[in-house]
Structure formats: C-alpha cells, structure tokens
Amino acid sequence: MKILNSVDNKKYELSEKTIAIYNCGPTVYNYVHIGNVRPLIIFDVLYRYLLKNNKKVAFYHNITDIDDKIINAAKQNNTTEQKISQKYTQAYLDLFSILNIKKMEMPKVSDHIQDIITYIQNLINAGFAYVVGNDVYFDVMKIPNYGKISHQNIKNLLNGVRKDNSENKRHPLDFVLWKATNEGLSWNNPWGQKGRPGWHTECCVMINKYLGQQITIHGGGVDLKFPHHENENAQNYALFKKDIAKYWMHVGHVNINGEKMSKSLNNFILVKDIVNKDNANGLRWFFYKTKYQHPLNFTVNSLNEAISEVNRLTDALAAAKTILLANKKFKNIQVPFDPEFIKAIEDDLNLPNALAQLSSMQKQLNILIRQMNFEDSLKVYMKLVQCLDVLGISLTKYEHDKHIDLINQWHEATLAKDYNAVDKYREQLKKVNLF
C-alpha cells in the first residue's frame, strides 16, 4: 500500500507493523457540511482496506468540544456550551451509522485538559513557549523547519501580516497555546487567570498521549495545512526533534456549484440535509469519482448521478443473488481480491480507477448470469461484495433472507412457465429491491 505524502509529493510504502493514523475531527458547534465528511470517508476507505489486509491500525479522530464557536452558539441559543457540544457530537456520531463509517477512537478535548496543561508547560520548560500576562504563546522563530508542511517561507508569511497591538507576542506568527478568559468554560492553570487551550495544541496532545512521538499518517482537509498542521508539527518538533507524522494526506476542497463553500456566500450544504440511509451510498460514490487530493465540485445533479450509478451496481448484485438463490447456487465462499481493484486502492487510494474496475466486473457478472454460468457468477458476485465492503458501500437494504419464499415462488413459476405468476412475483421482488 503506497500513499502520496503531500509534503514532498512522493509515494511511500506503508510498511510499519502498526500503522498509526490521526485525522483531525470536528469542532462541535453545528451540524457538519459535506466538506467536513470528505476526509472522514476517504480515511474510512483506507482504514477498511488496511484491516481487510490484517494490518494492525491505531486510528484516532478527535472531537473539539471547547471553542469560541461553541461559546457563541450557546449564547445564540440561550443554553450551555456542554449542551451545544453534546448535541452536535451526537449528531456527528449519528452520521457514522448513516454513512456506514467504521468507528475509530474519538477522544474529546474536554477530557484532556490536564494533559494539555502538562504539554504546554513542557514547551515552556524547553524554551519554545513563553508567558505573556496570563496567556502562553509558541515561539515560531525557534523552529528551523517552520513552513515545511505547507511549503511556505517565514519571510513570505510575514508579508502583509500586521501585528495586533493588543497582543504582546514576540513575533507576528507566534500562536496561542493557552489563553486566559472569563468567558465560557475555563480551567485553573499554572500561568495565572483561568483559561482554555488554543486549538493547535489539542491534536498534538492527543497524538502524543495515544500514538507516541511520531505517527505514520496525519490527515485532514487541505484547509488545515496552514496554520493548523504547520503549528502541530512545530510543537512536536520542539519537544521531540522530529515531525509529528511520517506522511501527510490532505484531502481537497469541496466546492458548491463551482464556488468555494463560504459563510459569506451562505452556500454550505449540511450532510443531514442531503443524506439519509437510502442515498448515503451515493454521497460516498460521489467522493470516489475524483482523486482525494483534488478539488471536487458538488451539484445536486452530480450527487444524483452518483446515486444512480451506485444503485445500478448494487441492484445488479441484488438481482444476481436472487437468481443464484432461486437456483440453489448461492453460498458464502472465500475469494481472492480482484487484482485490478487492489492495484487501484494500493496506488494512493486511486478511487476513480477502483470504480472503473467495479463497472467492468458488473458487466462481467451480468453476462455470466445471462449465460446461467452460476459457478463463475458466484465468484464475481463475492469479489464485488468484497470490494464494496472496502468502499463502505452498504447492501443492507437488500433483505433476501426475509423474502426467500417469494424468491422460490418466482422460480417455481418460471420452471412451470406460468408467465402471469412469473410477472406477478417479479413485480413483488422489484418492490423489495431484489430484482
């Protein structure tokens, strides 16, 4: 399995005994939009494939439940931060079931405040962080490779940067690790007034606590590359003199009707508004039609096309299984992975190529079923199911076991050449998605 490291644009083999993955999670102040779930689904495919190949995987994905946005949402809704974060955390977890996403470890920031305080104090002790008043800042100028992750030069970053006079930072690019505040949830700390952590430190702490000084893959949306991932890497380098991850996978933007999603344009599309159990496969399929690093343009038509495409494949599988069951030729058998599908997945998750191979296999299955070559039909069927499982495409709506009597009645009518009965049973099978 090779993945493209977005830092040096080279492909690397995943050869570690334990593959440690961290994917930045949501700030739970609202329902997530489709751009938020694109990295989630891409990493779900990687996770599924590695597990299918008996790889040991440690996969973490944080929940940021402390943030100014949560405070503002609580004010607007006349409620507490805890109730806001609990509501939207649960809404996020509900999407895992709807979108058929395999659960990973999901620690919350609020459960790790003491870990964060200790981590920040370690940065102060090491000379990479400093206290100003009751706030703590990270000293960017002490990191020789700052800008490595985002391919930026400190001098270029300074162009156009205006120092905020309300801050006594040593350098305009220095970022806050801990800020004193009387607003919202706050905690006692060694540096004075109560406060709460800065965003960039939270992920560092989760990674260091659960996965060690360096992970295999760090992932997230391309919008996080700077400053978030750059600042994570700087803190890790300060403490351990190594990058926080060997490889970085950055997932491209999702645009809406050709425009970048923006609050000012009010063109965010919430996942809950377009996805349910019946069309969740379609959203996953839509993401697979473009390489994950590339920008992706969302339109209602493009989503509907993806829904139609995946339904044609899963409906063909369902019909094939119906015919195999009717002819007493269906059984669960072990089959090897399709080699062309493997080639696509192991080439840095080349999902468009993977879909092309599924289309070819579907055509092959249809031909074999028409030829009544049930032995080979079963093998291709099982290979397709295996591939779809890696892609997280659900087949749960096809309930053959519940309708086995109807399947047998259709088959008996076919053998008896009772075509009126055949048509009647076929229509009933269509209504339950089995033909």
Mean pLDDT per segment of 10 residues, for the chain of length 435 residues?
A: 97 96 96 96 98 96 96 96 97 97 97 98 98 95 94 79 64 94 94 93 97 98 96 98 98 90 77 94 98 96 97 97 96 96 98 98 97 97 98 96 96 94 95 93
Give the closest residue to 189 by CA, choosing from 139, 134, 137: 134
Helix (H, G, I), strand (E, B) or coil at 268: coil
Question: What is the dihedral angle through the alpha carbons of 417, 421, 425, 426, rounded to the nearest 10 degrees?
Answer: 60
**Residue 160: its pLDDT value, please?**
56
CA-based Rg of the chain, rounded to a whole angstrom?
26
The position carrying tokens 């923006």 is: 262
Longest CA pairwise span in the chain (Å) = 89
Whole-prediction pTM: 0.95
Give the closest residue to 319 by CA, choosing from 370, 272, 285: 370
Strand 10-13 vs strand 18-23: parallel, antiparallel, or unpaired?
unpaired
Q: What type of residue is 129? A: A
If you ran DSSP here, which 8-state letter would residue 381 be given? Answer: H
Q: Own/partner pairs for 163-170, CB < 8 Å, 24+ apart? A: 167/132, 168/132, 168/133, 169/132, 169/137, 170/130, 170/137, 170/139, 170/141
**Residue 229: its pLDDT value, please?**
97
Q: How far apart are CA 381 and CA 330, in angstroms?
A: 10
Q: How far apart are CA 318 and CA 279, in angstroms?
A: 16
Q: Which residues contact 106 (CB under 8 A, 6 or more apart)?
A: 25, 60, 61, 62, 63
CB 126 within 8 Å of CB 225:
no
- Bridge partner list, 307: none
Q: What type of residue is 313? A: L
What is the domain partition of the chain in residue ranges? 2-120+198-275, 295-398
CB 58 within 8 Å of CB 255:
no
Structure tokens at 422: 């055949």
**Residue 208: its pLDDT value, please?**
98
**Residue 167: its pLDDT value, please?**
63
Q: How far apart are CA 291 and CA 297, in angstroms?
A: 12
Give the closest residue to 409 by CA, choosing from 399, 398, 420: 420
CB 380 within 8 Å of CB 361:
yes
Structure tokens at 331: 């059984």
SS3 for 12-45, per residue?
A: EECCCCEEEEEECCCECCCCCEHHHHHHHHHHHH
Chosen CATH of 2-120+198-275 out of 1.10.3720.10, 3.40.50.620, 2.60.120.620, 3.40.50.300: 3.40.50.620
**Residue 165: its pLDDT value, please?**
46
Strand 192-197 vs strand 175-180: parallel, antiparallel, or unpaired?
antiparallel
CATH of region 295-398: 1.20.120.640
**Residue 82: its pLDDT value, please?**
96
Q: 345-382: string of b/e by CB count within 10 Å (b at 16+)? A: bbebbbbebbbebbeebbeebeebbeeeebeebbbbbb
**Residue 263: its pLDDT value, please?**
63
